[in-house]
Structure 1
Amino acid sequence: MDQDELLRHSSSFGAAAGAYAEHRPDYAQAAVRWALEPAPGPRVLDLGAGTGKLTATLVALGAEVIAVEPDPAMLTELRRALPEVHALSGGAEAIPLPDSCVDAVLAGNALHWFDMAVAGPEIARVLAPGGILAGLWNLMDDEVDWVAGLARVSGSAAIGPRDTPAGWRAETTGMHLPKSGVAARFGSPEQAQFPHGQRRTADSLVATLATRAGMLVMPEQEQEATLGRIRAFLASTPETARGEFTLPMRTGVLRVRPL
C-alpha cells in the first residue's frame, strides 16, 4: 500500500466513529498485562487511541493513562466515554507530550498506520528510561471452522491477512520497527497471543466488519454486495444463525523492551 492509499485508509474511521465505538471489541486484559509487564511504572500513553477501546482496558487495570488521537470525531467519542482520561489531539509523528514522561507506549490496532521513520524517534523521546513499546491487535480466530469460512466469504477488505493469527504473526514479524528511531534503544520484538471473544449477533458482527478501513473506503455498491455475502453466510451457519454467539478471537501483542 503506497502512502496516499495508507493515508486514505487510516483517515477513514472518523466518519464511522459512532459505529466504531459501539461495535469494535475491547482487548483481552491478559494481553494488556503482558504488554505492560516490563514497564518501569504506571504511566501509559495510548497512542492512536481511537474511541478508547484500549484506553478503557488500561483504566480498568489501574494504569495512569494519557490518550492521544488525531481524528476529531474519534477523539470526541473517547472523551464522551471516558471523561476522566486526559485525552489530547495529536498523532504518533508529533506527540504533544514532554520528553521522558511515560513508562509505556501502547497502540491498539494502530501501530501499522504510523510512519515509524518519524514516529519511532517521537515514541523514544516520550518514553522514560526503561520504557516499553507495544502494539496490540484483535484477531479473528480462523482456526475455528466457521470463522475461517467467514474470512473466505468476507474478503480481505473486511478480514485481511493481519486480522487472523497466522497472518498477524507473519506481518508483525517483519514490521518496520528496526528502521525506526526506537531501534537503538530496544531489543528484538516479542510476540504473544491471548484468547479473547466478543458477544455478537449476526447483525452486530456485520456492523463490526463494516467499520474496517477496507470496507469504509470501498465504493458503496461493492460494500453492499460484500456485506450481503456476509449476512447470507451468517444466516446459513448454525453457530451464528440464531441469537447471540461468541466470536472467537485472540489479542495479539508485539512488544519491544529496552536493551
Structure 2
Amino acid sequence: MPTLGEKPEQVDSGKKLREKLAGSFGSEAARYDRTRPPYPDELVARIVKASPGPRVIDVGCGTGTLSRQLKAAGFEVLGVEHDELMAEAARATGIPVDVSKFEAWDPAGREFDAVAAGQSWHWVDPEQGPRQVARLLRPGGLFVALWHVFSTPDPIAQALAGAYEEVAPDAKLLVGHSRDEAVGFYRAGCTRTADAFVNTGEFSNPDQWSVSWDQSYTTAEYLDLLLTMSPLALLTSDQVTGLLEKVSAAIDAHGGTFTSNYETVAVAVTRN
C-alpha cells in the first residue's frame, strides 16, 4: 500500500523496481523525519491497551517516528530497518535499530509482546512476513500495521495528477484520487493483510482501527513532503523539477496554503 495510493501492480512490476522504491527513502532521511506526520495519539493508546506487554518490534522503523511515540508510551522498542541511513537517523533520536530486511532478521531467540509497522508493511513479503511475525510474538501478542491516507483538496489533487501525467506519462501512477477512493483502497488493503495473517492459522481476532485528522500545509511544506514520496524515485531530476513547479503553481493559485484531511488506518491481529 504505497504512500500516494498507487496500485501495487502499477508500482511493483518486478523485484528490482520494488527494491528501488523501498530503498529510495534513505537519501531523504532528514526530510522524511521532518515532513512525515506522527501517528494519532488515540491509535498509539490502542496499541498500548491491546499489547500484552511492553516489548515491541517496529518493522521498517525508518527515522523512528512511531518508535519514539511507542517509547514515550512506555514500550521497550527495537527497530528493524533495512536502510542504514534511515537506521542512523532513528538511532540519533535514541531508538536502538537492527539493520536487516524484516523477513531475514534473526531475533536470536527473543520473544516479543507486539510487532508494529508504520507506513512499512507494504514493503514486506506478504507470505514471509506473517510467518516471521508468528515466530517473534508470544501467545496473545499483537501485530498492528498502520498507514496514513494522504488526501488533498480537489484542485491540488487534480494538479498533482495532471503534473504526473504531463511530466511522466509512461509511469501510469494512480495519483490525484478522491479521499473516498484512497480510504477505500487502504481499508481493502487492511482486509487483505488481516486475511493473510489469519490464513496462516497462527492469528485470530482481526480488527481495523481508524482516526481522521487535519494537517495544514504551505506551498513549501507540501513540496517538502512530496519529495519523500516513493513515486518520485521513478522520475528523472528534470521530471521532478517540472512536477514540483506545476504543483507549486496550483497551491499558490489556491492561496498558498491548504488543509489536508488525513485518515490513519490500522489493522490488528492477535497471535494464537
Tell me which residue corresponds to 2:270: 257
CA distance in 2: counterparts of 1:169 and 1:70, whole angstroms: 26
Say which SS state the counterpart of residue 136 (structure 1) adopts. Answer: strand
CA distance in 1: counterparts of 2:102 and 2:176, whole angstroms: 25
* 2:202 counterpart letter in structure 1: R
CA distance in 2: counterparts of 1:160 and 1:47, whole angstroms: 28
Alignment of 1:86 onto 2:96: yes
* Aligned residue among 115, 123, 136 for 1:126: 136
Q: Which moved more, 1:105-114 or 1:218-227?
A: 218-227
Q: Give 1:38 shift.
A: 2.2
**Quick check: 2:60–2:120 contact (8 Å CA) kept in 1?**
yes
CA distance in 1: counterparts of 2:28 and 2:228, whole angstroms: 7
* 2:99 counterpart letter in structure 1: S
| Pairs aligned (count) | 248
Q: Give 1:253 shift.
A: 0.6
Alignment of 1:28 onto 2:40: yes
CA distance in 1: counterparts of 2:267 and 2:202, whole angstroms: 16
CA distance in 2: counterparts of 1:180 and 1:190, whole angstroms: 12
Tell me which residue corresponds to 1:47: 59
List runs of 5+ in structure 2 lacking aligned partners: 1-11, 162-172
**Quick check: 2:159–2:176 contact (8 Å CA) kept in 1?**
no
Q: Which moved more, 1:38-47 or 1:193-202?
A: 193-202
* 1:256 counterpart letter in structure 2: V
Alignment of 1:174 onto 2:192: yes
Q: Give 1:157 shift.
A: 6.7
TM-score, length basis structure 1:
0.85
With over 3 angstroms needed to count, the CA separation of the structure-2 counterparts of 1:55 and 1:252, relative to structure 1, is same
Deviations 1:57-87, CA, capped at 9 Å, x for gaps: 112222111111110110111111x22x322
Q: Give 1:151 shift.
A: 2.5
Say which SS state the counterpart of residue 102 (structure 2) adopts. Answer: coil
Say which SS state the counterpart of residue 115 (structure 2) adopts. Answer: strand
* 1:37 counterpart letter in structure 2: K
**Quick check: 1:28–1:251 contact (8 Å CA) kept in 2?**
yes
Q: Give 1:106 shift.
A: 0.4
Tell me which residue corresponds to 2:166: none
Identity level (%)? 27
TM-score, length basis structure 2:
0.81
Q: Which moved more, 1:104-113 or 1:248-257?
A: 248-257
Tell me which residue corresponds to 1:76: 88
With over 3 angstroms needed to count, the CA separation of the structure-2 counterparts of 1:91 and 1:71, relative to structure 1, is same
* 1:134 counterpart letter in structure 2: V
Alignment of 1:229 onto 2:246: yes
**Quick check: 2:48–2:73 contact (8 Å CA) kept in 1?**
no
Q: Give 1:159 shift.
A: 6.2
Say which SS state the counterpart of residue 138 (structure 2) adopts. Answer: strand
* Aligned residue among 91, 103, 113 for 2:113: 103
**Quick check: 1:120–1:181 contact (8 Å CA) kept in 2?**
no
With over 3 angstroms needed to count, the CA separation of the structure-2 counterparts of 1:57 and 1:34, relative to structure 1, is same
Q: Give 1:229 shift.
A: 2.0
